[in-house]
Structure 1
Amino acid sequence: MKSKIPDNVVFSEENGYNANVLAYPTSVGAPAIKLDNVVDWKNIGIRNVNKEFESKFNELKAEYEKLMQEYEWNEILYNAKYSFEPIIGETYHLYLAKDGSNFLSLIHPDFWNKEHIGSFKLNSNKKWIQIDSKQDTF
């Protein structure tokens, strides 16, 4: 019959008394092992990450909408009627003709009684930049 070893003694057949090499406390007087409540930590982390993702998504969405608006204005301006070659950096004015088409002019809206849609400049990349407009969205 085997000799009985008390429950509070760390002993194994292959390692013997090895309490001094274990990574966890083994005596009755050792501090209790408490598991951290990581659920709260995870929930806070998830909330913070979701806010960051939502913020970045809203930034990208606003940037996309701005890009689409620029694209639409450029499409309108490149399809407008004009019989001159626009100069980079000059201001041009987009008007609505009586037949419903758009035309581009150098004449400022203060000096002409036509329906003014907006004023634009051509940048060095041949992209029309909106200066002002009576119609911000389509």
Structure 2
Amino acid sequence: MIKKDKPDNVVFSNEHGYNVRLLPYATSLGAPVIKTDDLAGWKNMGINKVNKEFESKFNELKMQYQDLIQEFQWNELVYNARFSFEPIVGEIYHLYKDTDDSNFLSLIGPKEWNKEYVGTFRLNSDKKWILIDLKN
């Protein structure tokens, strides 16, 4: 049996001496109970908030992407249409479908003649066609 110099209830080490104040835990029955904070609720609340923010940002980007794709498709349709004039920035043009199923661009409005109307567009300064009106 090993004999100790100090009893078990005395906090002493040969390196540090009496080091009760340096220990991160209670050393006697009379010491206050050390409780760790329950961070699960705080973490869950933070995770939920961040996930909602990410979902919101994702949906916003998804909508912007869909709008961009639609804008690209309209521009592709108009630029691939047939026209025999140089469009002027800021002017309004009308897109029609011809009898051979090809598209053509015109200055003539849909109420002024009887052609299959597709949509109305304005050319902006970036040479991008902006959709103004669609066939009902």
Q: TM-score of the superposition, structure 1-length normalised?
A: 0.86
Q: Does 1:125 align with 2:126?
A: yes
SS in 2 for 1:10: coil
Superposed displacement of residue 122, structure 1: 0.6
Q: Which residue of 1 aligns with 2:5?
A: 3
Q: Which residue of 1 aligns with 2:85?
A: 84
Alignment partners' CA distance in 2, 1:97 and 1:124: 28
Structure 1: stretches of 5+ with no match in the other structure: none
Q: Which amino acid in 2 is paired with 1:68? A: I
Q: Name the SS for the 2:93 alignment partner.
A: strand
Partner of 1:103: 104
1:19 offset after TM fit, Å?
2.0
Measured against aligned partners, the alpha-carbon deviations of 1:30-86 in whole angstroms (never above 9, x if no partner) come to 331111222222222222221111111111111011000011101100010110000
**Are 2:83 and 2:104, in contact at CA under 8 Å, matched by a contact in 1?**
yes
Match for residue 14 of structure 1? 15
Match of 1:69 in 2: 70
Tell me the secondary structure at the aligned position of residue 89 of structure 1. coil
Q: How many residues align?
A: 134
What amino acid is the match of 1:51? K
Answer yes or no: is the 8 Å Cα contact 2:95–2:106 preserved in 1. Answer: yes
The one-letter amino acid of 1:50's match is N
Give the distance between the partners of 2:118 and 2:102, measured in 1 at CA: 11
Q: Distance in 1 between matches of 2:61 and 2:11?
A: 60
**TM superposition score normalised by structure 2:** 0.87
RMSD (CA atoms): 1.8
Identity of aligned residues (%): 63
Paired with 1:93 and 1:5, the residues of 2 have a C-alpha distance of 99
Secondary structure of the corresponding residue to residue 52 of structure 1: helix
How far residue 115 of structure 1 moved from its aligned partner, in angstroms, is 1.5
1:26, distance to aligned residue in structure 2 (A): 4.1
Q: Contact 2:6/2:12 (CA < 8 Å) preserved in 1?
A: no
